[in-house]
Amino acid sequence: MKAITGDEFEKYLVPTRLLKMSWLSTRGDMGRAFLYDDPIFGVFSVNLLFEKFRGNIAAHFEKVYKEIKAFLPEVSKENKTLFTYALTLADLLRLKSGFRKELYLAHKAGSKDRLRKLLKVVPLLKKKYEAMCKAQRKIWLLERKPEGLEALDVRYGSQLKRLDVAAERIKDYLSGKIKRISELEETPRNIYSRTPYRN
């Protein structure tokens, strides 16, 4: 395998764990779901509030991040861009995956201290999204023509804008301008079940 691809087969398997988790192996591309999930509505990440999703998702992505980071210096020059892309994705997901869940729980508890801490996470998330956009563009242009990149620009641009909106809503709540963040008061729904979340 190494003679053909330039690196050991086992190295290629590590980034695939960004897409699937062992306890959710039949649920498709988990990494992409967290990547493009709305940071304040959390259409997908709201499922972390349900029992069968209680595995530590952020810790899962953290582990993958550390594994890729450890072997990245050994990767062949030809594959450096590919594995750097995977590392950048893992770096983003280890922070983004639990953001909306923590936001929901902090608001539900009425904890302004926790909301202030989460507000400080937003600029860091934006930096990681910008890095991810650059990494994916680099891979894209190595493998394809530029046509189609506009779709990625829209996806990443919308995430950056929605993070701005999330920060604005949190600030308005903390300042007393609004009495509640209504987006965080929607009843969570388990998209993999007909049973709604119950307190």
The domain that holds 95 is classified in CATH as 1.20.120.670
Residue 184 makes CB contacts below 8 A (sequence gap 6+) with: 40, 103, 104, 107, 108
170-198 residue pLDDT tens: 999 999 999 999 999 987 776 655 434 34
Q: Is residue 195 part of a domain?
A: no
Residue 179 belongs to domain spanning: 9-20+28-184
Q: Is residue 199 part of a domain?
A: no
Q: Is residue 1 part of a domain?
A: no
Assessment of whether the complete model's pTM goes beyond 0.85: yes
94-126 residue pLDDT tens: 999 989 989 999 999 999 999 999 999 999 999
Q: Count how many domains the chain has.
A: 1
Confidence of residue 24 (pLDDT cuts 50, 70, 90): low
Q: Is residue 194 part of a domain?
A: no
Segment 144-163 shows an average pLDDT of 95
